[in-house]
A and B are shown apart, each in its own frame.
Chain A
Amino acid sequence: MYEGLTYSTTFSSILPQVIIAAAIVVCAMFDAFVASKKWLVGIIALLGLGAGIAASMSLWGQNIVEFSNMLSTNDFSLIVSITVMIAGIVSVLVSLRYVDAIDGESGHYYLLLLSSVLGMLFLVSAMNLIVLVLSLELMSLSVYPLVGMTYERQASLEGSMKYLILGSFATAFLLYGIALVYSVIGTTNMYAIARVLASRRDLAVNVVMMAGIALILVGFSFKVALVPFHTWTPDAYQGAPAPVTGFMAAAVKAASFAAIIKLVIVVLSSYHVPVSGALWWLSAVTMFAGNIIAVLQKNVKRMLAYSSIAHAGYVVVGLVPGSAFGMSSAIFYLLSYTFTVTGAFAVITYLEKKDGTGNDLSDYSGLSRSHPVLSLIMSVFMLSLGGIPPTAGFMAKFYVFGAAIRSGYVGLAVFGILTSVVSLYYYLHVVYAMYFEEPEHATDVPVAVGISTGIVIALWGVIQLGILPSDIMDLAMKSVQSLIH
């Protein structure tokens, strides 16, 4: 079982992780010794994330398995790494003014954000279940305090507490599931597990194995907020500062989904019990419940929380067929959702007040009178979330439902399209409020360079993926191929 145990002294294959880790150290030193200018810590975080993206791009096309087969750098891990680092950059840009407004110590905001990104980078390249759990926890444990960052506000702490309790609850399920799988297979390496699963048909009727896989799926369903494991999401998303909510909806979700996609492609495709039935139900229930409850919301952040639950359901639609095209469409969906949702929460950050108010639909009434550009941009993001062409959201839904129909899951695709028609109601409600309702009170938001830059990046992504999706889809296809051995 120690086959292929090669210790590598070169760290070139994990260069992005090394860069982010170094950035964390530099940020910590800066935060500790240059106390006066906290925004400089944010600039260092930005530089680190930018260098991380450049390093990931330089590694593109390679397929390296190193560190005792624990980490694998391939196109799949790189495309998701780049996605989460883009989300990180936008979140830091959006946070600059917000963090300055938090009283007292605030430099550790960027530390937590970077260490969460570090967890994600290890999560997407983990090829061993031990590393998978460790990196998942590094990611989650850094996000819990971020949610409670505005610690004089009860809602923020409350969201943080609920997220933490249900997050650790999920980790316990995941860990127990992994222990059961380990008991049957005797190893924690994903490729080795896949080999054993493929060669032993008797495992298909092994109750312990089934329970293990089921518990692992439950654990991850908590992390990406699939119904009925979504109960923490609305409170955590509403309570968190708006930039953090954007980061959670984009990066945390993308990285956790990447782990699921990797498990499905590498491990579960060799399992003789098809999991697509379970995924079918999870995705149908999630799309339905997420969209229906979102219709009832009056708070825009809470509405987008339910919307993000619904979007998790759409991503799972891409996983149900189990085909390479379906997986690629799920990755494309994650990319497009990252750009759209970080942009939407950047606009929300503009309007959110320090005490956490300013997020009601009534606060958006007549916004187009005072802020025509901001309203137009918000409308683009809302249309992308609703799946209207020529935005990224449309192409993402097109690919995902196309993959489902191609593999014969016509019913699920039709159901998904119907729920996304329902979702148009609440997305267009925001647009309607901004353009056709009388303003209830004057909204005056000072221009912030950081937030505006973040919005421009997100807007570029939404338009780019909406008009020229085929290049990115090719990259997604390549990344899926790189996982299949």
Chain B
Amino acid sequence: MAPAVTLTDYLILSGILFSIGVFGVLTRKNAIAVLMGVELMLNAANINLVAFSKFTDAGVVGQVFALFSIVIAAAEVAVALAIVISIYKVTRTIDLDKEDTMKG
């Protein structure tokens, strides 16, 4: 039988996800890919919340919080995609390196 999944495993997973997300936000040029990085970071926090809620005696607050944070992430993506589409209409690109008209 495979060993049981413990709290530490979840924490390692969420730590890795969060780091990948930060890396994606910092290195990607494509606006959509950057948003995917942000989503990874938010979901890493969700995994943490749910795991702590399950493995400690903290009650269901963590799971409720995770539900709310999923809503936040969805709203954020909706607004973000709207802005990305309007940017694409004006500049015909979503490369963030080319969105650089302001200097100083």
Chain A interface residues toward B at CB < 8 A = 1, 129-130, 133-134, 137, 141, 144-145, 148, 151-155, 157-162, 164-165, 168-169, 171-173, 175-176, 178-180, 182-183, 186-188, 234-235, 238-239, 296-299, 302
Contact = CB atoms under 8 A, between A and B. Distances in A.
B41 A141 contact: no
A171 B48 contact: no
30 contacts: A1-B58, A129-B65, A130-B61, A130-B65, A144-B79, A157-B87, A157-B99, A158-B99, A162-B99, A164-B76, A165-B25, A165-B35, A168-B35, A168-B38, A169-B25, A171-B72, A172-B41, A172-B42, A175-B69, A176-B45, A178-B45, A179-B49, A179-B52, A179-B62, A179-B65, A180-B48, A182-B61, A186-B59, A187-B58, A239-B102
Interface in B1-53: 18, 21, 25, 31, 34-35, 38, 41-42, 44-45, 48-49, 52
Contact of B34 (A144, A148, A155, A165): A165
A182 B49 contact: yes
B102 A186 contact: no
B25 A141 contact: no
Given A130-B64, A176-B18, A180-B48, A186 B76 contact: no
- Point out which of A165, A179, A183, A297 has the most chain B C-beta atoms below 10 A from its C-beta: A179
Contact of A154 (B25, B35, B91): B91
Contacts of A157: 83, 86-87, 90, 99
Contact of B86 (A133, A151, A169, A298): A151
A307 to B, nearest CB: 13
A160 B96 CA distance: 12
A469 to B, nearest CB: 35
Nearest to A185: B58
Contact of B84 (A161, A171, A299): A161
A159 B90 CA distance: 14
Nearest to A176: B45
A235 B42 contact: no
Interface in B72-104: 72, 75-76, 79-80, 82-84, 86-87, 90-91, 96, 99-102, 104
Given A145-B79, A296-B104, 7 more contacts: A130-B65, A161-B96, A165-B25, A165-B31, A165-B96, A186-B59, A187-B58
A134 B68 CA distance: 8
B104 A297 contact: yes
B86 A148 contact: yes
Given A152-B90, A154-B91, A160-B83, A176 B44 contact: yes
B83 A159 contact: no
Given A134-B68, A179-B48, A186 B58 contact: yes
Contacts of B21: 172
Contact of B31 (A161, A172, A180, A235): A161
A169 B41 contact: yes
A137 B72 contact: yes
Contacts of A151: 86, 90
B63 to A, nearest CB: 11
A168 B58 contact: no
A144 B79 CA distance: 8
Contact of A161 (B25, B76, B87): B87
Contacts of B62: 179, 182
Contacts of A129: 65
Contacts of B45: 172, 175-176, 178-179
A171 B56 contact: no
A154 B102 CA distance: 10
Contacts of B96: 161, 165
A83 B97 CA distance: 38
A302 B41 contact: no
